[in-house]
Structures are given as structure tokens and as C-alpha cells.
Amino acid sequence: MASAGARTRAVAAEVVDAVVSAGQSLDAAIAAHEGKLPPGDRSLLRMLSYGVVRHQFRLQEWIDALVSRPFRKRDSVVNALLAVGLYQLRDTRIPDHAAVSQTVEATRALRRPQLAGVVNACLRRFGREDLASVPARSEASKWNHPAWLIERLRADWPDDAAAILTANNARAPMWLRVNTARQDVADYARRLADAGIGATSWDGVPGALRLAEPQSVDDLPGFADGDVSVQDAAAQVAGPWLMAAQPRRVLDACAAPGGKTGHLLELDPGIALTALDSDPERLGRVSENLARLGLDATIVAGDASKPEEWWDGKQFDAILLDAPCSATGVIRRHPDIKLLRRDADIDALRALQRRMIDALWPLLQPGGRLLYVTCSVLAAENDTLVKGFLETHDDAVEDTVLHNNNIRDVMRRKACGYQVLPGTAGVDGFFFACLVKKVS
């Protein structure tokens, strides 16, 4: 009987190839392919796919050094398989002989048996010639990031670029948001401990718990009943910040998948909350999330940059604009961003963000607050954008008071707004700017 290990490598190669050659997102590619494997093999599939995508630049440099000529386009999946093989040799505890034999055998499952010899020769040469200790030939492969992004990070963060790049390549911890309306954090931490799950709290965000090891949500006590949600601690900063002024009519623009929507309602179930998103399919996830938490919002499908298409004309006293962005602050969770984003996307995103904030501003009541949030670390989408907005809106002023003193240590003050850098205190990279509408 054949070992199933070869097939897991083959499916990992298909996932990586879908991202690298077809531009599919890593999560979508895994969802599309993992059904080929029995459930027990899927965690290895995830580990291999994420690892390879995370280190793609360096792995490809090795492949280019090992093969005499590049693989033909129709054999791109074998290029991906070779990356899967090299990743196992370099970065995992899988014994070398198993990594090589399973990866070579995977050429059969990929219907490319004629390339088994090439894969075998390359994997064996990699170890023999100790390519791993040869210095990287480009900045891109040294840092496992595209050159354009390295350049932008160095320009925006001259002193922190190396730390950001390093943090982006680390695996992210799993953070929970305890529904503190139902129980306090210490109580929930005890329930986790009883279930054998280790967790630590963080002063920066009182409702957050960081798990010692990622878990399936099905294993989290009370998850199905809404006692707890999965959300990075940095994302948990937004809700309390916006709710500090006790607003009554609140708009959550770009709400899907509903993580922050639920948080706003947990903090005050009495608010009238409109959850807006342009993607009706993703709005379904908002409904699911709220149903799990036993909370309710008015869910609206609409474009945040075109309120005339959906707004009822009644102003809000608080708006959360968690704007679509480059997601360069969450690369550690979504390493495919490094392969899928292009430099030109940043300008397009900035234009969209500006259209949204401009369009939503009139919906805010005088005295009300708009919290602009991104999971980007690029100035173009963050402080530069907010500064440009403030310069053209006389009735807008930034409120620089942090609602919570404990996050002061991790918040970097920018020309406008605050930035949390990825990896600081184990959290994702986020930007926040709180804008208040002057009462004339």
C-alpha cells in the first residue's frame, strides 16, 4: 500500500501553484484542494502550503540555481513541488529521507512521472551542496518579500523595516476576544485551562487572550454559543476606542466578515448598528457571526463610497471605517499578499480609501467620531491619507487621546494617527486615526 504522504505533497504543490501561477489567494486555493485529502492530512497540507508561500522568494532562488533550465509553463506545478520539497528540507523537522522520497513520489500523483528524476536530483543536490548556507543573491530572497514592498517599508520605516520584514515571516499566534458581557477574561482563561488550552492575557487589550498554540474553533469552550471569538488583539483596539464616547447610532462600513461588528455590539448591545459591506456573499458571514453571538444589526449591502445608493439620510454619531487596504500589516497571517499584491495596487487602494472617507464624512453628525482603521503599515494608506483628508476638511480634527493607557507602549504616533507594527506584543500591524466632526 502506498503511503499517503506523497499525495499530501502533491496537493500542497497544487495549492502553491494556484497561488504562484494562477494568482489565487492561499485560503481559496486550500479550500479548493483540501477535499482531496482525508481530514487527518490537512494540517500538514496547511503547514506546507503556508510555509512555501512564506518563503517563496528564497525557495525560487534555490530552484533557479538547481535546474538547468526553467520548467515549462505546463509543468509549473512541478516547480511548486520542488519548492515544497526544499521547504521541508530547510524549515521542517520532517526527516530528509522522508521529505525527498515522498516529494519525488508525488510527481506520480501529479501525473508527471517523467520529472521524478529531476526532482530527485535537485533535492539531493540541495543538501550535498549546502545551498541553504549560500548568501541570498537579492534583497527579495534575503527578506522573502517583493522588492517594491521592501523599498516602501524602508522609506516609511527607516529604523523598523528589518523588524517588520522579520515579523512578517514569522507565524502569527492565535488571539481570542472574550465576550466580556458574559464572563470576565480570567473566568474564560480558566475554562480554557480546564480544556487543556494555555492562554495569556495582555494589558493592552483587556478582553484579549493569546493562545499558546493555535486551536480549532470547535475545541474552544463556548465558541458556538458566542462566548468567544477569534480576533487579533490589535483589531480589538478599534471597538472600545469608537465606543468610548457612548454613541447611539453607529455605522460599521466595510463590516465583513463581522469581527469588529460583533465587538461593537458586545460592548453595547443597545446601539443601533448598521453593518455595511459591498459584498453580499461576505455579508452572509456577518449574519452568521452575529447569530452566533446572539446579537443584531441592520445589515446593508452597499458601497461605502456611494452612500446615495443605500443611506436613509439619518446621520450617525460614530462611524468605523475599516477600509480595504494592502493588508501589509497582516502578512504573517496571509503570506500570499507578498506574491499577489503589486506596487500599483497601493495607488488604487489609496484612491478607494480616500473616496470612502470623503463619502462617509457627511454621514457623520457634528460632534461625532469616525475611526479610520487599516491593517496596512504603509504611510500612503495611513497617515499620509488622513493628513490629506484633514487638509481638505475644515470641520474635521483628529482626537489624539488614546482611550486606553495600556496600549500607549505599542502605538507609534504618526503625523496623523497611530500605528501598531506587526509582531509588537505579538499582535498584527494596524493603523488607527480618530477624527471628530467639529460642532459649528
- Residues interacting with another protein, by CB under 8 A? 1-7, 10, 37-38, 95, 98, 101-102, 105, 108-111, 113-114, 117
Residues 6+ apart with CB under 8 A from 107: 10, 78, 81, 113, 115, 116, 119
| Distance in Å, CB of 282 to another protein, minimum | 33
- Could you give phi then psi for residue 29, rounded to 5 degrees? -65, -40
Between 98 and 186, name the residue whose CB sits nearer to another protein.
98
| Distance in Å, CB of 84 to another protein, minimum | 15
Element (H, E) at 265: helix 259-267
Q: Are 161 and 153 in contact (CB under 8 A)?
A: yes
- Taking the CA atoms of residue 61, residue 27, residue 353 and residue 277 in that order, the dihedral angle to the nearest 10 degrees is 170
- Taking the CA atoms of residue 370, residue 371, residue 377 and residue 379 in that order, the dihedral angle to the nearest 10 degrees is 30
DSSP of 63-86: HHHH-SSPPPGGGHHHHHHHHHHH
| Distance in Å, CB of 114 to another protein, minimum | 4
Between 93 and 128, name the residue whose CB sits nearer to another protein.
93
Whole-angstrom Cα Rg for the chain: 23
Residue 390 CB-half CA count within 13 A? 19
Element (H, E) at 229: strand 228-230
| Distance in Å, CB of 119 to another protein, minimum | 13
Element (H, E) at 250: strand 249-253
Longest Cα–Cα distance in the chain: 79
| Cross-strand bridge partners of residue 298 | 274
Cα–Cα distance for residue pair 9/7, rounded to 1 Å: 5
Between 117 and 367, name the residue whose CB sits nearer to another protein.
117
Catalytic residue among 122, 254, 325, 375: 375
Between 116 and 272, name the residue whose CB sits nearer to another protein.
116
Between 95 and 367, name the residue whose CB sits nearer to another protein.
95
Between 121 and 402, name the residue whose CB sits nearer to another protein.
121
- Taking the CA atoms of residue 64, residue 18, residue 94 and residue 171 in that order, the dihedral angle to the nearest 10 degrees is 100
Between 5 and 422, name the residue whose CB sits nearer to another protein.
5
Establish whether 122 is a catalytic residue: no
Q: Are 83 and 59 in contact (CB under 8 A)?
A: yes
Distances from the Cα of 430 to the Cα of 61, 177, 194, 323, 424, angstroms: 31, 17, 33, 11, 11
| Distance in Å, CB of 124 to another protein, minimum | 14
| Distance in Å, CB of 73 to another protein, minimum | 18
| Distance in Å, CB of 179 to another protein, minimum | 39
Which of the residues are catalytic? 375
